[in-house]
Structure 1
């Protein structure tokens, strides 16, 4: 019980609200699902319904959207660790096959007593990013599978893990796929991720690393505006962009929630916990050097 109390104290209150949103979604809309006919529901944009896993959807041609997307990472081997990175993002869909996004990054770090990390309590403008998505395979009445290819270059002036001032260049490449298992009701999502990055420290040192992995997710549409599910991620870390210096891996697992408030406003929430991990050369359980004990996602979006 004491450990649980300490963990709750380390997590910002805005991410504690994820659990409340899940409860509200189930209790407020679970009964409605039994009364509604799923065949009458309008198609849902699958991009947002799988939590950290991204679906294939790119929106309707001409659609625009503003989002605030926060990801929190909590828990290291010792001490207190909480870091967030928030995307302030504008996206638009110039054609039925292409979506473009760009925006700024804000970050917070609350670190104390963590081995190899300086104590820090700060809020900062962290950098900027852009994302380009191409719908490579479109879902049709005869084909339940859709696939989107995405690239996301990112420039940071604040390291997302330590909070140090750096020059960081990241180029995330993903394959986002989803499968409609039951019409308008049940969906499976899959991601394949390759994320190389280069970090230049103020000391002049240059670090090269990469993350490679994939995910699987399952989401059930409880009502026309509520989707509840779960996802699992397997992630590998390398000290080289060409994936030749493996340092450790981890498995993250947790629930997801999508809730649409109005036809033009919705939220996505997710929580992942590290359930297995290893650090090469270190016999301890879990991998808390390259990854975190918990991560949370809370995203609000407004379409126009």
Structure 2
């Protein structure tokens, strides 16, 4: 399994020191694509960017990216609110079933509402957050063509502190229905359902190493009755 490294806290170079002296870890971003339960401190505000790239098809040249420009704030110790814009790029040439295009576009907008349902304490190592993320897209993620797409992601983010300030396990359960109107007026309804498990080891005060596995199923119906395929991803 591939290893991923992330800088999880700002500060100087990593130092070998006793984990008991480290500050509490914000777990939201330490697992990779699996999201932890952390929602930040009350009153905290942050701007982040997050880019996902897709490269390569069976024929021709294919490169596409989508970037989230995100502002998040935590009005209370149990609620985090996020919103922002989506920007996409597509460079497609000679790919079967896709039109050639080279473009950069404002592709949509999103909001996310996160509620800390179970808080980690000295006697409880488990934390659970419920998250809801509506998204509107005007550009298809794969083909780059104009569409009207509406998604509503519902996800459970949980993490378990296995060793104090040192070892964490993360778990996600996801359900995401969506509906898309194409350029010719055709309508497509679909949904994703699945989950993930991840493990992250804090090797220094600001360095984490970890791995994760995702299992996702795709359906051509929001009620999960028309199964079309599944995938397993490791990272």
Is this a same-fold pair by TM over 0.5? yes
Q: 2:108 corresponds to which residue?
A: 127
Q: SS state of the match for residue 96, structure 2? A: coil
- Cross-structure match for 1:103: 84
What's the CA shift for 1:113? 2.7
Distance 2:17 2:138 in 1: 49
- Aligned residue among 4, 25, 30 for 1:44: 25
| TM-score (normalised: structure 1) | 0.72
Taking the aligned partners of 1:237 and 1:78, their CA distance within structure 2 comes to 24
1:212 aligned residue? 193
Aligned to 1:156, which of 119, 123, 137?
A: 137
Matched, 1:79 2:60: yes
**C-alpha separation in 2, matches of 1:41 and 1:214:** 30
Structure-1 separation of matches of 2:185 and 2:130: 35
Task: Tell me what 1:272 maps to.
Answer: none
**Range that drifts further, 119-128 or 39-48:** 119-128
> Which is richer in strand?
2
Cα distance in structure 2, aligned partners of 1:24 and 1:244: 41
Asked if residue 114 in structure 1 is aligned to residue 95 in structure 2, the reply is: yes
Query: What displacement does 1:78 show?
Result: 3.3
Paired residues in the alignment total 230
Q: Show the counterpart of 2:210.
A: 229
Distance 2:127 2:52 in 1: 26
Given the alignment of the two structures, is residue 182 of structure 1 paired with residue 150 of structure 2, yes or no? no
Q: What's the offset of the Cα at 1:29? A: 6.2
CA–CA separation in structure 2 for the residues paired with 1:98 and 1:72: 30
Q: Partner of 2:180 in structure 1?
A: 199
Query: Contact (CA 8 Å) 1:233, 1:251: kept in 2 or not?
Result: yes
Q: Which residue of 2 aligns with 1:284?
A: none
**For structure 2, which runs of at least 5 residues remain unmatched after alignment?**
none
Work out whether 1:137 is the aligned partner of 2:115: no
TM-score using structure 2 length: 0.93
Structure 1 position 71, deviation (Å):
1.1
Q: Cα deviations across residues 203-242 of structure 1 (Å, max 9, x unaligned)?
A: 1111111111111111111111111111111111111111
CA shift for structure 1 position 79: 3.0
Q: How has the CA–CA distance of structure 1 residues 23 and 158 changed in structure 2, closer, same or farther, with 3 Å as cutoff?
A: closer
Q: Could you tell me whether the CA contact under 8 Å between 1:175 and 1:192 is conserved in 2?
A: yes
Q: Structure 2 residue aligned with 1:245, among 209, 226, 231? A: 226
Aligned to 2:42: 61
Q: Deviations over 1:97-147 (max 9, x none)?
A: 000000000001122233322222211000100000000010011110100
Aligned-partner Cα distance in 2 for 1:178–1:242: 28
> 5+ residue gaps in structure 1?
1-18, 255-304
Q: Aligned in 2, Cα 1:22/1:138: closer, same or farther, shift over 3 Å?
A: closer
- 1:288 counterpart residue number: none
Note the aligned Cα RMSD (angstroms): 2.0
